[in-house]
Structure 1
Amino acid sequence: MVKVLRKRFFSVCAVVGATIATIVLSTSPAAAGTTISVYTTDGGIKGGTGIFWHNGNGAQPPGKSVIGARDNQADGYRVSVRVIWRSGGALTWSTLENANGADPNGIITKVVSIPDGTPVTLEVCLKDGADGARKWCGSGEAVA
């Protein structure tokens, strides 16, 4: 009788242990968010910088994604920053533009609601006026 109980006990322990191991190994940890800076591709000093903060930027609320745009030159071009992600299978984006022209305090920001762990693409381009074509675009990948 003791042998039978001992055998059942070890069988139950083996099943419980295997179940716990399966759960632990199959559960992926939450994706860590990333913060990136991307520059325009024009020659010389880059005309614009785009920034993606995955968890606020110190001045914005934590737990929110933030995009930033900096116009690095007073050259008549504006900086256009776009963050792109998939939501429900559809492409979604948010755009921010800065036409301040080399303002030393020139980073403007926008809070964007993107679910944590979502892959995003950050694009930064220069535009000649509000309706100008986007050109000299650079891009980078991040995670919200």
Structure 2
Amino acid sequence: MSMNKWKLALAAASAIILPLTFAASAEARGTSGSVTTTDSGIAGGTGFFWYDGNGAQPANKSVIGARDNQADGKGVWVRVSWARSPYAAIVMDTNGASNGVVTKVVTIPDGTPVTLEVCLRDSDASPTLRYCNSRDFVA
């Protein structure tokens, strides 16, 4: 094989391997973000997922949060779930609108895909979940 053919083969291999390498390392870094309930107008609740990208938490720790956005008598229910034990963690904000974010530190192995769900919850007496929405992240 001539030198030009070797260079062409090397360039082609690099074009395939390098994007795969960067995609894998991006997933390992984790993702953070939020998801809102599906009710009309201003969303009644927001769920948050923060992976520990800045090292503020010990290894394998992430934070979930719930924020009630409306004074509508409903609380906000947030669950993060993943494929390994203990499978899920829940946090709720039932102290009324605009009183900050209720958070919980959760042990999830770094690089684990998770699903964050957020719903409005009627009340403790009638814990029906409504206007649910979900989004995927990486711990």
TM-score relative to the length of structure 1:
0.72
> 1:82-126 CA distances to partner (integer Å, 9 max, x unpaired)?
0010116xx7110001012212x4201000000000000000000
The count of residues paired between Structure 1 and Structure 2 equals: 117
Aligned residue for 1:31, secondary structure, equals helix
Structure 1 range deviating more: 120-129 or 47-56: 47-56
Distance 1:57 1:44, change over 3 A: farther
1:61 shift after superposition: 2.3
Larger radius of gyration: 1
Task: Tell me which residue corresponds to 1:17.
Answer: none
Aligned pairs for 1:13-52 (under 5 A) are 29=25, 31-52=28-49
Match of 1:61 in 2: 57
User: Does the 8 A contact of 1:100 with 1:106 survive in 2?
Assistant: no
Task: Classify the secondary structure of the residue corresponding to 1:87.
Answer: coil
What amino acid maps onto 2:48 in structure 1? I
Matched letter for residue 109 of structure 2: P
The one of 106, 111, 117 equivalent to 1:123 is: 117
Contact 1:56 1:62 in 2 (8 A): no
Q: Is the 8 A contact 2:29 2:53 kept in 1?
A: no
Which amino acid counterpart does residue 50 of structure 2 have in structure 1?
W
SS at match of 2:97: coil
* Structure 1 residues 137 and 108, CA gap change in structure 2 (3 angstroms): same
Percent identity of the aligned residues?
57
CA RMSD of aligned residues (A): 2.6
Query: Which of 93, 99, 109 is the equivalent residue of 1:98?
Result: 93
Distance 1:52 1:45 in 2: 20
TM-score by length of 2: 0.74
